[in-house]
Amino acid sequence: MKKSSEPKIKQAGPRVISLFSGCGGMDFGIKAAGGNIVFSNDILSDACKTLQKYFPETKVVCGDIAAVTEFPAADVVVGGYPCQSFSMAGNRDPRKDVRTNLYKQFLRVVELVQPNYFVAENVSGLKQLGAGSFLEEQENAYKRAGYEVTHHLLNARDFGVPQSRKRLFIVGVRKDLAKKFLFPSATHGKATKKSPHLLPYTSHGDAIKDLPLWPTGEFYERPHDPDKGFSWYFMSRNRKAKWDNPAFTVVANWRHITLHPASPTMKLTWSNLADGWKQRWDFTNEYDHQVEGQERPVLKEPRRLSWRECALIQTFPRNFEPVGDVDSKFTQIGNAVPPKLAEVIFRHLFSGAGLISSSPSRKR
């Protein structure tokens, strides 16, 4: 199949293949940016059902990507191949983890389809492990496949997402297009003389303030435990982000989801870790979020964020509800790319604003 050397994408919307799609965080962003998702895939049944629910026009193939051999023609291939082997919270031994080589399945599809562009997403740990050798290995493989490759570590909070979430993006542009991708600049942050245009970070408290204050059955709780599910270890990890700040990273394990910002503050009552003992943490009667606004709601009983609140913090549509039980909902939402961040990246790509010449300028 002959490929065009024209770097512009058709106005009708670029055809996109989405791999390791999860519940569609990247896909929501692609669609908002004008993309047409023609194929998506995930190995989890609930995630596939969620994709079918929200992307009825897309061909959704559920199962191991290694077993899929045929793909439609597409302008772009995207995917967030599983990141647990590179995660800062994982076992940190990628050489022994079979998921480390899942990028090769992504690469296989890129080589088969030969899209104009590809966008891969992973955790920040990919850049750090092995002094960068794992990232270098992947980039070299994409270059051998015929792509001009750039990567950048982005924090979702810098683009209006009410959450601090660092993710590494790798973007490839087919070499015959003579272009490379330049990542978009931050739109949010602390304004300075050098960057006076930056908007303030988005408040996660404001993002969820209109949701029910006690959504029974939508968050992790163990009311019959002595500590009610708030172990000393959970409490010791600073699990409460300030109302006006972006939330801490939304994770895929509902037991480790952070506290609602309307919860009371915490205090360390005693600690004896040196002698092999643990710690004791207690909730106070103080509410730091009301200092800036007395009208803000107050949780008399502290709780973790609900899955619905996590979805809004991730910037999914307000009516978004993934298929599955509560645990599955948290898994899908926590593993997703924030749709708003994805939209920024793909608008930058689809519009051509992020494409610059890859040819070195000649000196006269």
Residues marked active site are found at 83
CA atoms within 13 A on the CB side of 180: 14
CA distance 76 to 172: 10
Q: Compute the distance between CA of residue 271 and CA of residue 275 in angstroms, rounded to an integer.
A: 10
Burial class (CB in 10 A: 0-12, 13-18, 19+), 88: exposed
Side by side, the strands of the sheet bearing 117-123 are 59-62, 36-42, 15-19, 76-79, 117-123, 166-174, 147-155
Q: How far apart are CA 103 and CA 81, in angstroms?
A: 6
- 30, 78 in Cβ contact below 8 A? yes
Q: Could you tell me the two tokens for 269?
A: 């009552």
- Say if strands 179-181 and 355-357 run parallel, antiparallel, or are unpaired: antiparallel
| Cα atoms found within 13 Å of the Cα of residue 104, Cβ hemisphere only | 7
* Dist. CA 246–CA 115, nearest whole Å: 35
Which of 40, 280, 89 lies closest to 49, judged by CA? 40
> Alpha helices, DSSP H only, in 145-280?
204-208, 232-236
Residue 189 in contact with residue 158, Cβ under 8 Å? Answer: yes
Q: Are 261 and 296 in contact (CB under 8 A)?
A: no
User: Exposed (0-12), middle (13-18) or buried (19+): which is 280, by Cβ within 10 Å?
Assistant: middle
